[in-house]
Amino acid sequence: MRHLFTFAPLLALAACTSSSGSTAEQAVTDQGCQVNVVDPRACDPADTKKTTVCHIPPGNPANAHTICVGNAAVPAHLDHGDFVGTCICDDDTGSDGSDDTGSGSDTTGQF
């Protein structure tokens, strides 16, 4: 029963989305990206404290990519045009053409 309350906010969010897809989803698809497909960067489905989001960087929509965020961060992402789900825009290569399926750790020393 406790898990029902955990999922209730996510169910309410899902109820607010259109079955035909959002404008953001359509914009990402129009760029040649795949939406809501299997993505290794997605959250673990068993982790109820995180949500998979297609992050569309403001001012750089061509760099849309899947991220896994804490549930508290979801509203802020939705407010700037992201949507719940996955997006793969470049066949798993970064904008520089390098592999972008890494461990998630920052090896550049920059954040």
Q: What are the C-alpha distances in Å from 47 to residues 15, 21, 83? A: 21, 25, 18
Q: What are the C-alpha distances in Å from 68 to residues 2, 18, 41, 86, 96? A: 23, 22, 7, 10, 22
Tens-digit pLDDT profile for the chain (111 aa)? 444 444 444 433 443 444 445 788 988 888 888 999 999 999 999 999 999 999 999 888 889 999 999 999 999 999 999 999 999 986 544 433 333 433 333 333 332
Rounded-to-integer distance, Cα 3 and Cα 49, Å: 11
